[in-house]
Structure 1
């Protein structure tokens, strides 16, 4: 019954804070009344479900009821001392459904005079088994296994448990279960089939539905707590007696027809232990290892253990635990404690116990905030166990009241789970849950097997969705961060479809590798003009030997195509890169068209761009020379040369300004301007250093780079990663990535300059800048000098600021794109803005300085 309390998990935690662990409150003295008003009817209903349909066990009803009360009392004492929650124990109706099926299984296999002793032993062994499973799950730290159960499977198990509880309530009230009623309905449909007399059973069925409707209606009218059961029993009993009185049926006749609980007598509390002592030697121990018994006991053990753990997982979100100040609730320890409780209770032939939220809610409404009420409740339950005459008063309550209560509990839980599942999952998944519910209800062993298969199926579907090619594009969609000339940018825009990029994810073994290769082969058949393939393994932890072989076979076929198709693999971990390198040698694929040395996708995209540029300009050496030429560095020295360079820049930025204003603006800046020569690899500024100057590249080129140190955002599997030896995903490694190459005519530091507008602090450089392969020559303009000139020359200053702000916006977009975790992204290269103007159809148009590569000439 533990999971049946889930609909009540809406209590505000702020209202549930307890003051102390043990201190007597006024509401604590209501616990004995709660024990009588709630525990006894619920326990009677559970025991009735267990013995329903087995006439040989009905005479021992009170003996089994005593064992249930003893289980409640002992576990209440344990909970009051060792549990982290201020709650007590409760009866689980799913357990009662198990004992009902077990009793039916014993019928015909065990002599009738030995049924009770076998039932008592079954209770003890099953309770200890449930406790040991819970204890082992917590002690071995394997709770994580439950996370792999898909929600549809959990829903199917819970709904099946609710149906079992409803079926047990129906058996308690009528003596027949749902299957028997459905079978009799088929007899009625077939007029040729003789039908037995079922009038008495249908009358009990109608009375049970009446009881369930009363309790269900009370729940919908917000009548809960300690008042719900007494009021419900009173209404059902009054309606029942009024109807039978009106029909003229005597009480003796009602008892004879089975409308009241049989054999509610004052059997002594030690009757069960006397039965064990007297007939223990006659127990058939081989009965417990029969196949049918094991197929019933083991699945129920798993299902009930899972149910109790699931309830605890939800309980701590609502009910504040009693832990030391500053300490945290220990979920694993609570499961271990509950397992120990059930092992202890099983030693006395008790039934499995779980935490109760309902009882605590009733006591809370009465004003109790301590654990004294748990002890009081345990004492009251112990008195009911020792003094059986106290329960004789319930013999006047008709059986339909108890069966209606059980059916209502199962119906409530089923409706809640059904409504929640329909809201949370898709229709196709809900159908899986419905199938699991039906199969588990009729055969729990088959239901668990089906649940395991469904869990494996969902795992494979989910795993396959994250393994393989997760995205594909062409070079026209994604680009490196290197700035190209307008001619090259136009070429890459038009011919970008000749390079295909595929991003892979997950552990690639033979099956997924074959799928990847087949998908790429289909792509090549569809687009035969593809000249290069890029495979990004940034989200791949490893590729097994068969996967490597499949990829090498694919690379070999690419090289044999006419014309050959180049293959580049990037983003590989240390171990994967080593495996691929060895495989290339074994397959004799050591060709410049097979590239394995690109660490990240940026480098692979740059390699592909150069591949296309060389292929396109191969037929025209003049075009190749013009497009790839870069002016040699010119040795500029002195302030006069720097002033002329600045004057040239301003003429390009402010073509409509008055010549005198431009010259005056340059004259004010001249003392601070400086031309600096940088050798190959020379540092202009480092990431993290204070930014103090703008830089304009006069000749050569400058490479911008940034240290990428990503956090582990993606929940990727850690399998096959040896972190002790440095194995990590590429996106997790701290590395310096080249973002772009700025040619002559480009500005550096515009983003940092705009950040100095508040003058509150000096910004840091967001990237590092180093001279390119031919060195660089740059004009350096200090921030403070440029800002001081705004008061005397506002017109020129505003034009300069407008252009710098425009460049800062582009730079920020490129920087955001370059530091994103995802390895696939759309290029934000500003050179694309000049593509249309540089294309033959668009006609030539002058691009602003800083967006096109221009040689500086005096």
Structure 2
């Protein structure tokens, strides 16, 4: 049965992985010193996997350069030594049970560098300069990895958009495929395309060698079909490579024998790797020391060489970083429970390895996951196999004649291996990106891939350009005005009397409300001002503008100046318009205050900036409209704004006369008569008597807690006198809305306003209102004990309330069904209105909405008769 972890690997890995079947056993660091049967398979894997990979990498590096073909064994020895050193070091110091390997991306770079060398250097010095190139390139990779791990710059990779990263990965896969074709044919994809298009004939290029090139291409494609067929048949693991190489070799020899072509001619025409084992391990050192004085060091400072080397260093480092980041997810680190996994430590280890390998003229190394997956199938859980793996590679390095067994393998087998690995990698990245991103972003991926394939330096520059473009485009779309409305649609939580509520409903269009988001700089500030100006011109009767900055982390100096200038122009209009900016962070509020002081030379207030949240700004605008439109003509009185004449917005509350509150029984009797006037006096007395034994009138002083949010709800409270402020805790987080925090100094207290306050005042209630109606309705389910959904505190004049315990009220309702039905219906009516109002108040972010759920009912009450029996009871004299 296929393990789910293997499927996850195929989906997430951005490196060339062999498809394997694996068990659920996890490596254990405590068993690292115990020998197991699977550890003995490591030498076979070293021959079956690492040697063909090393041979393929060297073949890609020197493909098409005849002068370097005799030096094949010397270069192969450096690759084997690099893998051996890295494997032995990783066995001891790595946090993963893995060995080292070399990459085809480096081989692709060396292949392009060799083409530059061929045009500028003598042929007998190509090998020496290639060895020096390997050393310098590997040292640069190691030093840059050490700088990344030590200087803490890993966060930079987070700014690379996914399309750019995928474009780099797909381009790397195309380079690997191109290297495979070059290894098998001596020509690359561009040369084949040029020849097929006929351009080389126009340029009078010789074409006598193209017959062998097309023959090698056909052999490579047919050999690749063998790898794909084995994959479809489910042949995986250590048996895949030897079996594929055996089939390809058998078919090749069978076809050549049947056609009568001698083996010597096939070797001469380049269908076999030559000189695979005739050089000793120290021959490369002798070659380097004998020509050390002939090295042209100025070659490495040429612009074309630097423009090729530096981008490849970046590309190899990015590839290693992405691989290590995903390696942690798919392969749990082999560390003790008390020792945490450190990502920077693994990068630093690879940097030291590359520096060490660079000193031996080796190629860059990285951790290999595919080898461990294959070894794991044999049942091993120790690290002994890594040591065996490294020792085997060292034997192949010191005794080159052990490698001569691969001399009979045709070149097309190695080229097919490289082509298949590149194709699998490309297909994985290509299909995954097509599923994950939109069509427009995927086109950016394709462009980045094509440009990077032809010119790595230009590809990275294009990637940086796309990164900056994506950053600006996404930032600009998240910045600016995100919503606008008027006071008719969005209201504060302040209670108003019917006359003022109707006034605000009719005149609410005179106050415009805008919500902003993102970092506001000069460009977006101008856009915001233009959009507000358009709305202002479309509504000439506007008296005030509210701009909510709750989701704005910062505004630059030009943005503040633009807002100040706009506000000053608003005050100079024929009908002056006041501007209120609310929801500013601490630093932004201070900057706006200082700017207002400098701008106000005539002591005029350009911007009202003292409101912290939009609730206060809406209340400020409502009071502004009421004062503007409540100025009565001479001889008429102005409507009073005293709280004693303000009826609650729920339009369902009524005031119990003070004379009726001498006892709880009298207050309950008054309630019963009001709610059910047709019930007999005897039943009212019995109902009141059942409740009076546990009900009582309670007095609270200013600031006393009547209900605490989250505490157990056990009683109803009917406000007899005074006022109560209702509030609710907010648990919003800025990260929920992906807000940028780069302009906030959190160490000095910079937070968004919805993070600074943990409790928001919703509204005030007055005599006749009921507290705890929603909680009481929840007790009818008998499933759980409800908690208070809001906090209630006594106002400045104190509160007197009638307390009705839930338990006693349920008992009285059950004993007296006729009165109980009236009580229960009225409480449900209040609970429904309160739920609608609370639902509006808890959906304030990211867009504010009016919590005045009953405002329209209140406005209709002035024009039409009440529609509920409880409202009719309230309006009766």
Q: Secondary structure at the match of 1:536?
A: strand
Whether 1:154 aligns to 2:165 is: yes
**Residue matched to 2:100:** 89
What's the secondary structure of 1:108's corresponding residue? Answer: helix
Contact 1:635–1:677 (CA<8 Å) still a contact in 2? no
User: Of 622, 635, 638, which aligns to 1:609?
Assistant: 622
CA RMSD, Structure 1 to Structure 2 (Å)? 3.2
Instruction: Tell me the CA shift for residue 577 of structure 1.
Output: 1.6
**3-state SS in 2 of match to 1:58:** helix
TM-superposed deviation, 1:85: 1.0
Q: Which runs of 5+ in 1 are unaligned?
A: none
Answer yes or no: is 1:123 the counterpart of 2:150.
no
Which of 307, 316, 334 does residue 304 from structure 1 map onto? 316
Q: Which residue of 2 aligns with 1:424?
A: 436
Pick closer, same or farther for the CA change 1:666–1:369 going to 2, 3 Å: same
**1:67 pairs with one of 78, 103, 109:** 78
For residues 514-547 of structure 1, give each alpha carbon's deviation from its aligned partner in whole angstroms, at most 9, with x where no partner exists: 1211111122233334332111111222222211
1:541 corresponding residue in structure 2: 553
SS of the equivalent of 1:553 reads helix
Structure 1, 527-536 or 333-342: larger mean CA deviation: 527-536
Partner-residue secondary structure (3-state), 2:751: coil
Aligned-partner Cα distance in 2 for 1:488–1:391: 96
Answer yes or no: is the 8 Å Cα contact 1:834–1:847 preserved in 2: no
| Cα distance in 1 for residues equivalent to 2:306 and 2:626 | 73
The 5 A counterparts of 1:652-691 are: 652-670=674-692
SS of 1:790's equivalent?
helix
Higher deviation after alignment, 116-125 or 699-708 = 699-708
TM-score of the superposition, structure 2-length normalised?
0.90
What is the distance in 1 between the residues matched to 2:679 and 2:201?
A: 103
CA change 1:395–1:799 in 2 (3 A) is same
For structure 2, which runs of at least 5 residues remain unmatched after alignment?
Answer: 1-9, 647-654
User: Which residue of structure 1 lines up, in the alignment, with residue 865 of structure 2?
Assistant: 844
**Residues 14 and 429 in structure 2, CA contact (< 8 A), matched pair in contact too:** no
User: What SS class does the counterpart of residue 330 from structure 2 fall into?
Assistant: coil
Question: Aligned in 2, Cα 1:190/1:492: closer, same or farther, shift over 3 Å?
Answer: farther
Q: Contact (CA 8 Å) 1:13, 1:319: kept in 2 or not?
A: no
Distance in 1 separating the partners of 2:704 and 2:260: 110
Q: Give the alignment partner of residue 740 of structure 1, picking from 720, 742, 763.
A: 763
Equivalent of 1:790 in 813, 819, 830: 813
Q: 2:410 aligns with which of 379, 386, 398?
A: 398
1:770 is matched with which residue? 794
Q: Between 803-812 and 198-207, report the one with greater CA deviation.
A: 803-812
Does 2:491 match 1:479?
yes
Shift of 1:218: 1.9
1:102 to 110, 113, 130: 113
Q: Indicate if the aligned counterparts of 2:20 and 2:237 stay in contact, CA closer than 8 A.
A: no
Give the conservation status (yes or no) of the 8 Å contact 2:90–2:98.
yes
Moved more, 819-828 or 91-100: 819-828
Quick one: structure 1 residues 282 and 188, their matched pair in 2 at CA, closer, same or farther if it must change by over 3 Å?
closer
The counterpart of 1:217, out of the listed 206, 209, 229, is 229
Deviation at 1:376, TM superposition (A): 0.7
SS in 1 for 2:291: helix
SS at match of 1:694: strand
**What is aligned with 1:357?**
369
Contact 1:47 1:64 in 2 (8 A): yes
Once the two structures are superposed, the pairs formed by residues 620-659 of structure 1 within 5 Å of their partners are 625=639, 630-631=644-645, 636=658, 640=662, 643-659=665-681
Q: Is the 8 A contact 2:90 2:100 kept in 1?
A: yes
Residue deviations 1:325-368 (CA, integer Å, cap 9, x gap)? 33332222111111111111111111111111111111111122
The structure 1 residue matched to 2:26, chosen from 16, 24, 39, is 16
Q: Does 1:167 align with 2:189?
A: no
1:696-711 correspondence to structure 2 within 5 Å: 696-698=718-720, 701-708=723-730, 710-711=732-733
CA offset at residue 59 of structure 1?
1.2
2:854 to 831, 836, 839: 831
Secondary structure, aligned partner of 2:100: strand
Q: Does residue 1:36 correspond to 2:36, yes or no?
A: no
Matched, 1:231 2:243: yes
The 8 Å contact of residues 21 and 377 in structure 2, kept in 1 or not, is answered as no
Quick one: structure 1 residues 518 and 38, their matched pair in 2 at CA, closer, same or farther if it must change by over 3 Å? same
1:730 to 747, 750, 753: 753
> Could you list the per-position Cα deviations for residues 215-235 of structure 1 after superposition, in whole angstroms to 9, with x for gaps in the alignment?
222223222211111121122
CA distance in 1, matches of 2:15, 2:691: 79
Q: How far has the Cα of 1:809 moved from its partner? A: 4.0
Whether the 8 Å contact between 1:3 and 1:308 is mirrored in structure 2 is: no
> 2:660 and 2:585 mapped to 1: Cα distance?
50
Number of aligned residues: 853
Correspondence 1:807 to 2:817: no
CA contact (8 A) 2:674 2:874 kept: no
Structure 1 residue 114 displacement after superposition? 1.5
Please give the per-residue CA displacement for 1:256-306, whole angstroms capped at 9, x wherever unaligned: 211111222321110011112211122111111111111111100000011
SS at match of 1:107: helix
Contact 2:553/2:741 (8 A) holds in 1: yes
1:446 maps to 2:458 = yes
**Conservation of the 8 A alpha-carbon contact between 1:61 and 1:264:** yes
Indicate if the aligned counterparts of 1:467 and 1:512 stay in contact, CA closer than 8 A.
Answer: yes
Within 1, Cα distance between the matches of 2:489 and 2:287? Answer: 82
Name 2:611's counterpart in structure 1.
598
Residues 487, 592 of structure 1: CA spacing in aligned structure 2 closer, same or farther, 3 A cutoff? farther
Query: Tell me, what secondary structure is at the counterpart of 1:845?
Result: coil
Please report how far the alpha carbon of residue 810 of structure 1 lies from its aligned counterpart in structure 2 after TM superposition. 3.5
